[in-house]
Amino acid sequence: MRVLVVEDDVELQVAVPAALKSANLAVDLAGDLATADEALFVNSYDCVVFDRMLPDGDSIDYVRRRREDGWAVPVLFLTAMATVADRVDGFEYGGDDYLVKPFAVQELIVRVISLSRRGPTIRPSILRYANVELNSARGEVSRAGVLVTLRPKEFAVLEYLMARPEQLIRYAELIEHCWDVGAESTSSNVLAATVTRLRKQLRGGPDLIQAVRGQGYRLLDPDRAR
């Protein structure tokens, strides 16, 4: 899942992305509404976290205008504006959730993951395919009942494939949704290396990740394909 954080506080520009990345999310950062607008035009996001008062305006006005145009990406307002009237405005003008600063990091993570699962359709927090189970809320994966330790990008790739079992997912789509803009490299070679490590970790049965040469990957149980 990929998230955009729109925040101008220097300390929170570090803390909020770090917290979300610890939960296996890909995170991009914008310091004002103009930069956020450009990022939203170029990239696809599962959730946007907005501070309210930004250098170029109140994000609530930006969200309201986008909602009027049919924009449907889930929005969390993360702000020090804490009155009941502030919170009501946040929901009435297009916000899906509202969290007041100071905040508990774990609560932020849970709320963002919950919103990110919505997308065009609500995605379950627990995904299952063959004998693999992935719990996005807990950040856990198991195969045949045995916990599997994955790196953040391995987790993100598996989650994206498990949400679309047996569908061909092209390289570019996986990279877009599992890597953030600040990643050192987003080449297909990096993706291939991640998939190789993921396969090694998913012991306990046949290889479920099928490579389609020159195109992408799909999650496919060999037993079902026969």
The encoded tokens of residue 170 equal 């092209």
Find all residues with CB under 8 Å of 41, minimum gap 6, and list them: none
Contact between 101 and 76 (Cβ < 8 Å):
no
**Chain length of the chain:** 226
pLDDT the model gives residue 183: 55
More confidently predicted of 182 and 91: 91
- Model pTM greater than 0.75? no
Tens digits of residue pLDDT in 18-49: 999 998 899 999 999 999 999 999 888 999 99
Dmax (CA) for the chain in angstroms is: 60
Report, as an integer, the average pLDDT of 48-55.
Answer: 96
Average pLDDT on 93-122 reads 86
Task: State yes or no: pLDDT of 51 exceeds 90.
Answer: yes
pLDDT of residue 120 exceeding 70, the answer is no
CA atoms within 13 A on the CB side of 5: 27
Q: Considering only residues 59 and 172, tell me which one the structure prediction assigns the higher pLDDT.
A: 59
**Cα–Cα distance, 185 to 200 (Å, whole number):** 22
218 in Cβ contact with 212 (< 8 Å): yes
Pair of tokens at residue 23? 């939960």
Cis status, amide bond into 102, omega within 30 of 0:
yes
Segment 173-218, tens digit of pLDDT: 898 888 876 554 556 788 999 999 999 999 888 999 999 998 999 9
User: What does the buried/exposed string (b/e) look like for 210-226 if buried means 16 or more CB atoms within 10 Å of the residue's CB?
Assistant: beeeeebbbbbbeeeee
Dihedral angle computed from the Cα positions of residues 150, 155, 159 and 162, in that order, rounded to the nearest 10 degrees: -40
Distance CA 94, CA 71 (A): 10
What's the Cα-to-Cα distance from 59 to each of 163, 178, 207, rounded to whole Å?
31, 26, 46
What does the pLDDT read at residue 43?
A: 87
**Structural element, H or E, at residue 53:** strand 53-54
Quote the Cα angle for 9-73-80, to 5°. Answer: 30
Q: Cβ atoms within 10 A of the Cβ of 59, count?
A: 28
Determine the pLDDT at residue 184.
Answer: 47
Burial class (CB in 10 A: 0-12, 13-18, 19+), 88: exposed
Amino acid identity of residue 89, one-letter, is: D
pLDDT (0 to 100) of residue 225 = 55
Predicted pLDDT of residue 186: 56
Domains in the chain, start-ordered, CATH in brackets? 2-116 (3.40.50.2300), 126-225 (1.10.10.10)
